């Protein structure tokens, strides 16, 4: 049923709470591939005129941040317990928004489902911080499995 699972990660321990669920799906659903993805956001100059940075310095900073993201996502893929299922890592550059970029990636990458962690925020906290997981759910054309992070509080 699921040939390819997409697992968006942002580098946080909260996002990684999804890993045992991905491992169980890989084992029980005859998955062929699990792809861990991190969205890399290029450096943007602050709007105030007080801070000046050359193009070379910005490019160097981008390269360093992308390398950190690559190192992280490859380590996750290497250490994933996917029971013999192919596990790979990919860093994609942010173009629109994180959720929209991930939904497009899933659509164009023959992904069968997305498995993502969610903070489980509600009310004003959610309105202020937004929810990447919720935006992926609403913008994706493939099924999305949302895993609540440990310690979430039930409520509306």
Per-residue pLDDT tens, the chain, 156 aa: give them: 789 999 999 998 888 999 999 999 998 888 999 999 999 888 776 666 666 777 888 889 889 999 999 999 999 999 998 878 999 999 999 988 899 999 999 999 999 999 999 875 554 444 434 588 888 988 888 999 999 877 666 655
Residue 155 belongs to some domain of the structure: no
Q: Considering the domain boundaries, does residue 57 fall inside one?
A: yes
In a domain, 48, yes or no: no
Asked, for residue 90, whether it belongs to a domain, the answer is yes
Range of the domain at 101: 4-43+53-148
Residue 156 within a domain: no
> How many domains does the chain divide into?
1
15 part of a folded domain: yes
Residue 54 has a pLDDT of 78
Max Cα-Cα span within the chain: 55
- For the question of whether the overall pTM of this predicted structure is more than 0.95, the answer is no
* Residue 122, domain CATH: 3.40.50.620
Would you say residue 59 lies in a domain?
yes
Instruction: Classify residue 22: in a domain, yes or no.
Output: yes
What pLDDT is attached to residue 128?
36
Burial 106-137 (b: 16+ CB within 10 A, else e): beeeebbbbbbbbbbbeeeeeeeeebbbbbbb
Q: What is the 3-class SS of 9-25, one letter each residue?
A: CCCCHHHHCCHHHHHHH
d(CA 152, CA 155): 9
């Amino acid at each position: 049923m699921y040939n390819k699972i997409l697992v968006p990660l942002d580098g946080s321990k909260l996002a990684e709470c999804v890993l045992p669920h991905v491992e169980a799906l890989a084992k029980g659903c005859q998955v062929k591939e699990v792809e861990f993805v991190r969205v890399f956001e290029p450096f943007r100059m602050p709007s105030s005129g007080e801070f000046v940075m050359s193009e070379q310095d910005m490019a160097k900073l981008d390269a360093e941040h992308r390398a950190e993201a690559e190192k992280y996502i490859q380590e996750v893929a290497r250490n994933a317990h996917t029971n013999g299922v192919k596990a790979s890592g990919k860093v994609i550059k942010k173009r629109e928004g994180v959720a929209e970029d991930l939904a497009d990636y899933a659509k164009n990458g023959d992904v069968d489902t997305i498995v993502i962690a969610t903070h489980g925020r509600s009310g004003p906290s959610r309105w202020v911080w937004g929810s990447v997981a919720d935006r992926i759910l609403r913008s994706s054309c493939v099924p999305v499995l949302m895993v609540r992070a440990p310690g979430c509080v039930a409520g509306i």
